Amino acid sequence: MSSQEQKSSQKLAKEPTTETTAMRAVETNLDIRAQESVGKTQGQIVRKRFRQNTGAVVSLIILLLIFLLSITSIGVGPIPGWWRYNYNDMHPIINGAAPNAQHWFGQDATGRDLFAMTMRGIQNTFLVVVLITGIAGFLGVLFGGLAGYYRGWVEAVIMRFTDMIIIIPLMLLTAVLGKLAGSYFTGVWNTVMFGVVVGLLFWSSLARLVRAEFLTLREREFVDAARLAGASDMRIIFKHILPNAIGVVTVSISLMMSSAILTETGLSYLGFGIKAPDWSLGSLISANQSAFATRPWLFWFPGLFILAISLAINFVGDGLRDAFDPRQKKFNPKKAKERTAHSAENGLGIDGSQQASVQVSPWQEQAKSQPASKSSS
Amino acid sequence: MLMYSVRRLITAVFILLGASFLVYNLVAIAGNPLEELLVSNSPNKEQLIAQRVEALNLDVPAPVRYFMWLGGILGCFAGQCDFGQNLAGTPVTQLLANAIYQTLTLVLASTILSILIGVSLGIVSALRQYSALDYTVTFASFLFFSLPSFWIAVLLKEFLAIGFNDFLRNPVVTIPTTLLISLIAGIFWYSASFGKQRTRYLMGLVGFLLTAGMIVFVSATQWFLTPFLGIPFMLPLGLGAAVLFTYLVAGLRNRRALGTGLGMVLVGLIAYFPLQGLLAQATLLMVVIILAAFMALGWVLGLLAGGYDRGQGARVGLLTGLAMALLIIADRFMQAWPEYISNSRIKGRPIPTANASTPNLQGDFWVLGIDTMTHILLPTIALTLISLASYSRFSRASMLEIMNQDYIRTARAKGVSERAVVMKHAFRNALIPLATIIAMDIGGIIGGAAITERIFAFKGMGTLFLDSLAHTDPNPVMGVFLVTGLMALIFNLVADLLYSALDPRVRVKA
């Protein structure tokens, strides 16, 4: 055996202390992360991490499928869909209005087709949610960004204004404004106005988050560098700081979507949002809840769709958070096992008990096999 | 700190003034209070309109009328509150008092429950990160978080309330149902336990057998018709509580603390008999005093037991005393249960689906207490499920972050037991961000849960607001807004102060 080999075997033979173990774990972790991100843009890394998260990808596909179903089945505006019934025409009741081959989701008491009504509800819910998050996202980023970047009196004014919006319970103000919107607009414009009005009040929490993010980012070197290079304030805000805050913004907007769904359906349920003859998933439930004992399907289908959409958006949001935040490593269950193994090496499981059934990490096997090779030399 | 609070309060006053001005005018635009009179056909229409215009000052434009309304509110500082009156002429202060009472009955229990359950679930799932339990809790949190409250409430009414009432007619559980429920319980225990595979199987088996035994017992003794605890149940439950609290607070090696806990169980069992006579003529105040007395007794007992850390023993004694007092009171409620369900107004269907109490129900403190409990049962479950999710997610995230801190590694390195690491070093610090969230949520309690209130026909703040808005009744709307806004602002301040008090690293700008 050459001296070089002997040297390396001696090094390996040395019992690892807790400290070296921890250091190595950190190093390998860094290595893995460096390999993962070599030669890639941030967007590519995030997309890759997101794709590895099965739950989030499946949820995204489900969301798209629900959206496509609602669009293609009853069509949009003048464009007809493949479903033969309309959401407000009454038809003779078939099979006691229970779900059947003609009416998949059954019919309501007056013979309207529930499938068409539910699809219409999904379309309206999507429209309102997109409006709410679009407007609230824009305002939240704008106000939060301005307050965080300029500080001083701009921040004071904006944040007091935000406080004012925050202390007014959302339900109360949207109810008042939803009522206003309802008495001045009709048809689809009522739905649009409803979304706009709720969106105008939905931005306060996002503004706080964005402000906090901007407060830390504006002190970073790259901002100083940009300023020294003569960049204007607007350029620094939109080209330098905002791309770095995009993680926070994306995640909170996705979570905002799920609460927007519940707010929209809740307000429509209470009669402040979308009103008959148009339908929202919430107003469908409120119109049919008294018929639960006789016609439960009127209640089940809209409710299940609300649940499915909201759940899927939550999972997508969680996946995005994991993808953007490398500190919360959750994409790779193998890594998690290594971590448990690492703590087990120290003689302690994560619960402090001696853990027997753990996977041994590769380098530890090397260390164990070492005495044998030493004796052979 | 004082300067900071004063400055924040002054800002809060201005924010409230601005917001209330905005809302007042919005309400004025939202509808005309005279509308219902204008379309009515009553012969004295003109007179009624003139009367209402007079009562609500409708001849003054809204922005000016706001200041007249504000004058009434500011009268509170002179000892004479005037929140105006509603369309029927009832003072808003009186409406608000009733609504706040109903809202608090509705929301208080669910808030406490969701904080307790949510935080403990979050902590446990953080300690078992990436385990089956963690994934289950995460999925359940998302599910509950996505549940529309109006949907789950109707489901609870249809299945839980009506199902349970039907079940009471013949309270016998069939064997397949027993097996199914026990199997689910066994799987839960298996996934919640940890350690060696054999221990986990054993835990699952114990959970299965325990559940099955309980169901058979309940079914055989018709426990739901004549529930009881008595000494045979209070002894094991009390012992369990004493051991659990000792384990969590002091560790089982602290024999004095354990002794205090067991002593309190003994005290509770002995006090059970003499207390029965007293409890027969109970009032709410007496129940509160009994609870406080047991807690104080436990505290003193812990201090007397001494040891190197008397505080731990005292805390164990206090918690065990509370548990014993609650058991005694629960036992007394159960004794009143047969009387309650055989009451002519209940007719053997105890779980109602609406309203805050059974009208015209006669009975003593215990029967009326049971009546309130059965009425808030369903809304409490619905609200707890919904708000549980955010607490468990938040405490999990907070706990995970703390468990990765350097000082936790230091504590482990110097040989601190895992119990002390989790309970003393990690849990307390994980509570800091939670405390602010909880403070803000408590500020929001008074706003009520508009949708849940409507479904269960509670006349709380949410209902008051919605109904007044529907009738374009401006003063109650403003009253609700003012109370909720004020509470939110105050508790916002409390949350900030709490944060800086709990975490010395955070300083408020004086």
Task: Note the pLDDT of residue A173.
Answer: 64
In a domain, A374, yes or no: no
B234 in the same domain as B217: no
Q: How far apart are CA B279 and CA B308, in angstroms?
A: 38
In a domain, A249, yes or no: yes
Amino acid letter for position A320 = L
A188 in the same domain as A87: yes
Task: Note the pLDDT of residue A298.
Answer: 83
Q: What residues have CB less than 8 Å from B245, skipping those under 6 apart?
A: B261, B315, B316, B319, B320, B323
Q: What angle do CA B148, B152, B156 make, to 5 degrees?
A: 170
Q: How many CB atoms lie within 10 A of CB B91?
A: 16
Amino acid letter for position B25 = N
Among B164, B186, B221, give the residue marking a domain's end. Answer: B221
Task: Note the pLDDT of residue B231.
Answer: 86
Q: What is the 3-state secondary structure (H, E, C) of B373-415?
A: HHHHHHHHHHHHHHHHHHHHHHHHHHHHHHHCCHHHHHHHHCC
Task: Note the pLDDT of residue B93.
Answer: 87
Tokens of B167: 């079940």
A145 in the same domain as A240: yes
B159 touches chain A (CB under 8 A): no
Task: Note the pLDDT of residue B281.
Answer: 82
Three-state secondary structure call for residue B475: helix
Q: How far apart are CA B310 and CA B319, in angstroms?
A: 14
Q: How far apart are CA A307 and CA A315, in angstroms?
A: 12
Longest pairwise C-alpha distance within chain B: 88
Residues B146, A310: C-beta atoms closer than 8 Å:
yes
A306 in the same domain as A339: no
A56 in the same domain as A30: no
Task: Note the pLDDT of residue A146.
Answer: 92
Secondary structure (DSSP) of A253-292? HHHHHHHHHHHHHHHHHHTSSS-TTS--HHHHHHHHGGGT
> What are the chain B neighbours of A356 within 8 Å (beta carbons)?
196
Task: Note the pLDDT of residue A63.
Answer: 94
Q: What residues have CB less than 8 Å from B10, skipping those under 6 apart?
A: none
Task: Note the pLDDT of residue A270.
Answer: 83
Mutate to test the interface with A, among B142, B410, B473 (most CBs of A within 10 A): B142
B276 in the same domain as B342: yes
B500 touches chain A (CB under 8 A): no
A262 in the same domain as A229: yes
Looking at the DSSP bridge assignments, the partners of residue A113 are A107
Task: Note the pLDDT of residue B365.
Answer: 86
Under the banding of pLDDT at 50, 70 and 90, the label for residue B200 is confident
Q: What residues have CB less than 8 Å from A363, skipping those under 6 apart?
A: A24
Residues B469, A179: C-beta atoms closer than 8 Å:
yes
Average pLDDT, chain B: 85
Ramachandran category for residue B457: left, alpha or beta (phi over 0 → left; psi -120 to 50 → alpha): left
Task: Note the pLDDT of residue A354.
Answer: 35
Task: Note the pLDDT of residue B448.
Answer: 63
Q: How far apart are CA B171 and CA B182, in angstroms?
A: 17
Q: Is B303 exposed, middle or buried (0-12, 13-18, 19+ CB in 10 A)?
A: middle
B205 in the same domain as B236: no
Q: Are A369 and A8 in contact (CB under 8 A)?
A: no
Mean pLDDT of B479-490: 86
Q: Which of B207-221, B247-261, B313-327, B449-463 has the highest mean pLDDT?
A: B313-327
Task: Note the pLDDT of residue A363.
Answer: 35
Under the banding of pLDDT at 50, 70 and 90, the label for residue B153 is confident
B451 touches chain A (CB under 8 A): yes
B234 in the same domain as B340: yes
Closest CA in chain A for residue B24: A176
Q: Which domain holds residue A348?
A: 3-47+332-369
Task: Note the pLDDT of residue B269.
Answer: 92
Tokens of A71: 């669009």
Task: Give me the sign of the Cα torsion angle B16, B22, B25, B27.
Answer: negative
Residues B480, A172: C-beta atoms closer than 8 Å:
yes
In a domain, A361, yes or no: yes
Task: Note the pLDDT of residue B268.
Answer: 92
A148 in the same domain as A94: yes
CA distances from A101 to A65, A94, A105 (A): 21, 10, 9
In a domain, A74, yes or no: yes
Q: Which domain holds residue B205?
A: 172-221
Instruction: Please identify which residue in the block is written with the tokens 């004058």.
Output: B71
B288 in the same domain as B178: no
Instruction: Give the closest residue to A301 by CA, choosing from A92, A130, A120.
Output: A120
> What are the chain A neighbours of B418 within 8 Å (beta carbons)?
348, 351-353
B185 in the same domain as B275: no
A351 in the same domain as A283: no
B146 touches chain A (CB under 8 A): yes
Instruction: Give the closest residue to B70 by CA, choosing from B55, B81, B86, B58.
Output: B81
B266 in the same domain as B204: no
Rounded to a whole number, what is the distance in Å from the CA of B326 to chain A's nearest CA?
A: 32
Task: Note the pLDDT of residue B355.
Answer: 79
> What are the chain B neighbours of A167 within 8 Å (beta carbons)?
15-16, 19, 485, 488-489, 492
Element at A87 (helix H, strand E): none
Residues B27, A175: C-beta atoms closer than 8 Å:
no
How many domains does one find in chain A? 2
Q: Which of A24-28, A59-63, B160-164, B338-342 has the highest mean pLDDT?
A: A59-63
In a domain, A377, yes or no: no
Q: What is the 3-state secondary structure (H, E, C) of B3-28?
A: HHHHHHHHHHHHHHHHHHHHHHHHHH
The length of chain A in residues reads 377
B213 in the same domain as B181: yes
Q: How far apart are CA B313 and CA B302, in angstroms?
A: 4
CB interface of B with A, residues 4-23, below 8 Å: 11, 14-16, 18-19, 22-23
In a domain, B495, yes or no: yes
Q: Are B331 and B290 in contact (CB under 8 A)?
A: no
The length of chain B in residues reads 510
Could you give the dihedral angle defined by the CA atoms of residues B37, B38, B40 and B41, in that order, rounded to the nearest 10 degrees?
120
pLDDT mean for each 10 residues of chain A (377 residues): 44 45 50 62 84 90 94 83 80 78 81 88 92 94 92 88 76 63 70 84 87 88 93 91 86 86 87 79 85 81 92 90 64 43 38 35 35 35
Residue B319 pLDDT greater than 90, yes or no? yes
A247 in the same domain as A167: yes
B481 touches chain A (CB under 8 A): yes
How many domains does one find in chain B? 3
Mutate to test the interface with B, among A26, A159, A164 (most CBs of B within 10 A): A164
A345 in the same domain as A255: no
Looking at the DSSP bridge assignments, the partners of residue B91 are B85
A56 in the same domain as A24: no
Among B200, B221, B242, give the residue marking a domain's end. Answer: B221
Nearest by CB: B418 against A167, A265, A351: A351
Q: What is the CATH number of the domain that holds A142?
A: 1.10.3720.10
In a domain, B303, yes or no: yes
In a domain, B44, yes or no: yes
A61 in the same domain as A31: no
| Percentage of chain B exceeding pLDDT 70 | 98
> What are the chain B neighbours of A168 within 8 Å (beta carbons)?
19, 22-23, 481, 485
What separation, in Å, do the N-terminal and C-terminal C-alpha atoms of chain B show?
6
Residues B26, A164: C-beta atoms closer than 8 Å:
no
Could you give the dihedral angle defined by the CA atoms of residues A257, A258, A263 and A269, in that order, rounded to the nearest 10 degrees?
120
Task: Note the pLDDT of residue B326.
Answer: 93
In a domain, B167, yes or no: no
In a domain, B51, yes or no: yes
Three-state secondary structure call for residue B171: coil
B88 in the same domain as B38: yes
In a domain, A110, yes or no: yes
Residues B158, A167: C-beta atoms closer than 8 Å:
no
Instruction: Please identify which residue in the block is written with the tokens 């649940």.
Output: A307
B189 in the same domain as B88: no
Residues B418, A348: C-beta atoms closer than 8 Å:
yes
Nearest by CB: B11 against A160, A168, A176: A160
Q: How far apart are CA B13 and CA B19, in angstroms?
A: 10
A347 in the same domain as A234: no
Q: How far apart are CA B264 and CA B314, in angstroms?
A: 11
Rounded to a whole number, what is the distance in Å from the CA of A164 to chain B's nearest CA?
A: 6
